[in-house]
Amino acid sequence: KTHDIHMTAVESDIVIDGGGEKYAAWTFNGTMPGPVVRVTEGDTINFTLTNPATNKNPHAMDFHAAEIDFLKNYKAINAGETISYTFVAKKPGIFFYHCGAPPMIQHIARGMFGAIIVDPKDASVWPKADREYVLIQSEFFKNPGDVQAMFDRKFDGMMFNGGIFKYHPFVTGGGKLDAKPGERVRVYFVNAGPNEFSSFHPIGEIWDNVYESGNPANKLTGVQTYVVGPGSAATFDVVVESAGAYPLVTHSLTGALRGAIAVLLASPD
Amino acid sequence: KTHDIHMTAVESDIVIDGGGEKYAAWTFNGTMPGPVVRVTEGDTINFTLTNPATNKNPHAMDFHAAEIDFLKNYKAINAGETISYTFVAKKPGIFFYHCGAPPMIQHIARGMFGAIIVDPKDASVWPKADREYVLIQSEFFKNPGDVQAMFDRKFDGMMFNGGIFKYHPFVTGGGKLDAKPGERVRVYFVNAGPNEFSSFHPIGEIWDNVYESGNPANKLTGVQTYVVGPGSAATFDVVVESAGAYPLVTHSLTGALRGAIAVLLASPD
Amino acid sequence: KTHDIHMTAVESDIVIDGGGEKYAAWTFNGTMPGPVVRVTEGDTINFTLTNPATNKNPHAMDFHAAEIDFLKNYKAINAGETISYTFVAKKPGIFFYHCGAPPMIQHIARGMFGAIIVDPKDASVWPKADREYVLIQSEFFKNPGDVQAMFDRKFDGMMFNGGIFKYHPFVTGGGKLDAKPGERVRVYFVNAGPNEFSSFHPIGEIWDNVYESGNPANKLTGVQTYVVGPGSAATFDVVVESAGAYPLVTHSLTGALRGAIAVLLASPD
Ligand SMILES: [Cu+2]
Ligand SMILES: [Cu+2]
Ligand SMILES: [Cu+2]
Ligand SMILES: [Cu+2]
Ligand SMILES: [Cu+2]
Ligand SMILES: [Cu+2]
Ligand code: NA
Ligand code: NA
Ligand code: NA
Ligand code: NA
Ligand code: NA
Ligand code: NA
Ligand SMILES: [Zn+2]
Ligand SMILES: [Zn+2]
Ligand SMILES: [Zn+2]
Ligand SMILES: [Zn+2]
Ligand SMILES: [Zn+2]
Ligand SMILES: [Zn+2]
Ligand SMILES: [Zn+2]
Ligand SMILES: [Zn+2]
Ligand SMILES: [Zn+2]
């Protein structure tokens, strides 16, 4: 199957918490993270990136699911330009995508990242999930122009899917992730960085399975916490036996307590 | 089998090095780490936490071996209160336990953590160990009230089992871990954090096997060093062929050289 | 088979970038990293370290491939002394070696490290590589005498094989790693630290296989990025399908953008 994917680099303010706080972000398609791309192993993706003439910076796109020349395909294009390339998603998994224009550390920190899921061609290679989420961890730097702070790893908050405590029901405007008891919940987890490592843990639960890079061949069983480096990703399955709240966190607490908590709420019908 | 486990939150000074240095710790049962809990896969644990009226802070208990509602079971109780809950240890492994009262980063840093071992129901799923140790890495912050230093990752020492160079025979008051040549020594290793990642290595040796989260299904072979994130744990087997000293360290040297060295001393009879 | 390996501790200036910048290094045999040692599983290594009388500091050698008493074999020897020991490389893989003289964090930071490859006795346990590289990541501290900066993790650059952007063709004097389309390129990767974790990723590619500690028994498939702790190592295979440039990086971008980029350049004949 062939997919035509178009994205636009957008330099504009976005809302980053439930209180309506704004941030001068750079994004794909106006949201941080950008849209989830989903294809099946073996599919072809025709990708086009537009950098509108109204933008001020070069941008680029790097898909971790692709196996293609970096120089030709991931090069930064100026405002007013468009680039297209084609790749085959040959390996199943959950993959990071991001802008690679220099300084890449800033383009990621300001919001130019997302996830691409490549489903295995043979769905029977792993258990069927009853419910699925994509969760992307990234560092928040309050001054989007302070590149030195990014190099110095002085982040001001830790986000899941572009929000501080975005899925925390006790915070103003906070949401949640829903589930039902007994369901196998599959979390496609990406660590966008740009620098920090994540130690991903479900409070009140144990990952039934973890799949490194989301590849069904890389199966772990009964894992409390799993390290996902910056620029990495993995798939986490949890069977939530009982109704209740299960906060997903990075157990590196300076990150969790500054925003990287997403509550999975299991309620019967 | 059913286990009744009672623990008490204790706010009191403890000794943290061989020189008798004291620290205003918060602990389970008066020691840092708290008692090792050991059960078998499938066992039921009836757990009770008491927060004595003489304490000044709320406390809580989070067992990584449990699969139960966070809100109801891991909630912080005030001084003078008691909480009880029950769980079944369904997955084998080595698991972290810790207080989750806010700010959790401080409750862990001050000493409210420990380990629970869940032995596999079928002991034949992995080799029999000749000798076993539990080792918990955690960061030491000299000012237990400086929560900002904890968020800033400015630790002052790195501990194994609540002591700086606790198992280092060349340090005043230092102990050691004993073994005999030819034995399979099993180390149940927990990284309590609250923030740092560990790179666990046996100087002079190679881990014969590493089991992620301590689950026998997750077997690695011949590993020099293995990353254990904060809030994570793994089981490490080493067969020490020859008499000698084998310092176990985190190979992130700023941690090892500030206290995270435990010498395994193999001596014939 | 038996190998006689001799190394000399050398305290002298070395060149660390394409511009000819010099650094007051301490090395094995005058280069940072030291020579690659290569043996086969089961081989015996007779090792001798000479610390010339003209040196100013004690030095030592710790081979992660060895399983021998730390005290007797890895002890620091003074200038003018020699030490010898013998070990059998019993476990296949890619292993770190380094000086362990105190303060070890400085001896590694200044350049006393290298790699030893222990090929599996039975070569058929994994695919044959068409091309092989050894890549060692290490932190650069511009003031080699500032041990406190090393403890504080304030590195000034990140190196592969002892150079900042050493294999980056667009940098003055920069080299590259060559390959041909279709080849299986095997990268023996070591993280020398002394402190930081690596998140090793091939831009424009996906690791076809990753082997923890380089042991063929520890096989992962289709991995975008893999975490290698300080003092650890792993083997990475990539089949580069198309001609092009594939920068190998740590995806912890504060490291990559300060020097840890090595371009793999795939060109047809
Ligand atoms: Cu951009
Ligand atoms: Cu990337
Ligand atoms: Cu507490
Ligand atoms: Cu926890
Ligand atoms: Cu030295
Ligand atoms: Cu070492
Ligand atoms: Na883990
Ligand atoms: Na569960
Ligand atoms: Na390793
Ligand atoms: Na051994
Ligand atoms: Na990964
Ligand atoms: Na490829
Ligand atoms: Zn960009
Ligand atoms: Zn927990
Ligand atoms: Zn469960
Ligand atoms: Zn507490
Ligand atoms: Zn070592
Ligand atoms: Zn051994
Ligand atoms: Zn040295
Ligand atoms: Zn990439
Ligand atoms: Zn490939």
**Host H or E run for residue C23:** strand C22-28
How does residue B213 score in pLDDT terms, banded at 50, 70 and 90? very high
Which regions of chain C carry the CATH code 2.60.40.420? 2-121, 131-266
Domain(s) labelled CATH 2.60.40.420 in chain A stretch across 2-125, 131-266
Collapse the DSSP code of A11 into the 3-class scheme (helix H, G, I; strand E, B; otherwise coil) and give the result: strand
Torsion angle of the four alpha carbons C23, C28, C30, C35, in this order, in degrees rounded to the nearest 10: -120
A-to-B residue pairs, Cβ atoms closer than 8 angstroms: 126
**Which residue in chain C has the smallest CA separation from B265?**
C69
Calculate mean pLDDT across residues B54-64: 98
Token output for C268:
């047809």
Query: E-assigned strands of chain A?
Result: 2-15, 22-28, 37-40, 44-51, 62-63, 81-88, 93-98, 113-119, 131-140, 157-160, 177-179, 184-193, 198-202, 207-212, 219-223, 226-228, 232-239, 244-250, 261-266
Straight-line distance from the first to the last Cα atom of chain B, in angstroms, rounded to the nearest whole number: 37
From the number of C-beta atoms within 10 Å of its C-beta (0-12, 13-18, 19+), residue C73 rates as buried
> Which homologous superfamily is A131-266 in?
Cupredoxins -  blue copper proteins (2.60.40.420)
Among chain B residues, the shortest Cα distance to A243 is held by: B69
Over 90: is that where the pLDDT of C95 sits? yes
Q: Which residues contact C124 (CB under 8 A, 6 or more apart)?
A: none
Given the cut 0.85, state whether the ipTM is greater than it: yes
**Lowest mean pLDDT across A19-28, A226-235, B259-268:** A19-28
- A164 φ, ψ (degrees, to nearest 5): -80, 125
Looking at chain B, the domain(s) classified CATH 2.60.40.420 span 2-123, 131-266
The minimum CA-CA distance between C189 and chain B, rounded to whole Å, is 13
For residue C174, the model assigns a pLDDT of 83
DSSP letter (8 states) at residue A35 = P
How close C69 comes to chain B (CA, Å)?
A: 4
Would you say residue B269 has pLDDT above 80? no
What whole-number distance in Å separates Cα of residue A167 and Cα of residue A186? 16
Q: Please give the Cα distance from A264 to A203 (Å, whole number).
A: 10
Tell me the pLDDT tens digit for each residue of B171-204: 877 899 999 999 999 999 999 999 999 999 999 9
**CA distance linking residue C237 with residue C200, whole number of Å:** 12
CATH number of the structural domain B2-123: 2.60.40.420
Chain B interface includes C252 (CB < 8 A): no
Q: How far apart are CA A150 and CA B222, in angstroms?
A: 37
For domain C2-121, the question of CATH label 2.60.40.420 is answered with yes
Among A74, A140, A69, CA closest to A102? A74
Note the pLDDT tens digit of each residue in C106-120.
999 999 999 999 999
pLDDT at residue C83 tops 80: yes
Closest CB from A68, A91, A231 relative to C204: A68
Q: Is a pLDDT exceeding 80 seen at residue A172?
A: no
Closest Cα in chain C, distance from residue A176 (Å): 29
Cβ-Cβ pairs closer than 8 A, A with C, add up to 125
- Determine, for residues B69 and A242 on separate chains, whether the beta-carbon distance falls below 8 Å: yes
Residues of B in contact with A206 (CB under 8 A): 64-65, 67, 91, 213
**What pLDDT band is residue C67 in, cutting at 50, 70 and 90?**
very high
Which amino acid makes up residue C166? Answer: K
Task: List chain A residues with CB under 8 Å of B70.
Answer: 203-204, 244-247
C170 reaches A (C-beta below 8 A): no
Position C19 scores a pLDDT of 80
Q: Residue A76's pLDDT band (boundaries 50, 70, 90)?
A: very high
What's the rounded mean pLDDT across residues A21-30? 94
Residue B263: predicted pLDDT = 97
Q: Select from C11, C107, C101, C9 the least CA-distant residue to C51.
A: C9
3-state secondary structure of C126: coil
Residues of C in contact with B197 (CB under 8 A): 197, 229
Distance CA C192, CA B201 (A): 13
Identify the pLDDT of residue A18. 77
Chain B CB contacts of C215 below 8 Å: 220-223
- The set of chains that have 3 or more CB pairs under 8 A with C is A, B
Ion ligand 10 neighbours, Cβ < 5 Å: B 205; C 67
Q: Measure Cα distances from C191 to A141, A200, B189, C134, C203 in Å.
A: 28, 23, 22, 11, 19
The CATH label, of 2.60.40.420, 3.40.50.450, 1.20.140.10, 1.10.8.10, for the domain at A2-125 is 2.60.40.420
Q: Choose the mutation target among C191, C232, C252 for the interface with B, i.e. most B CBs under 10 Å.
A: C232
Closest to C192 in 3D by CA, of C247, C83, C257, C116:
C116
In the predicted structure, residue A177 carries a pLDDT above the cut 80: yes
Does residue B169 register a pLDDT over 90?
A: no
CA angle in degrees (0–180, nearest 5) for C8-C10-C15: 130
Query: What is the rounded average pLDDT for all residues in chain B?
Result: 97
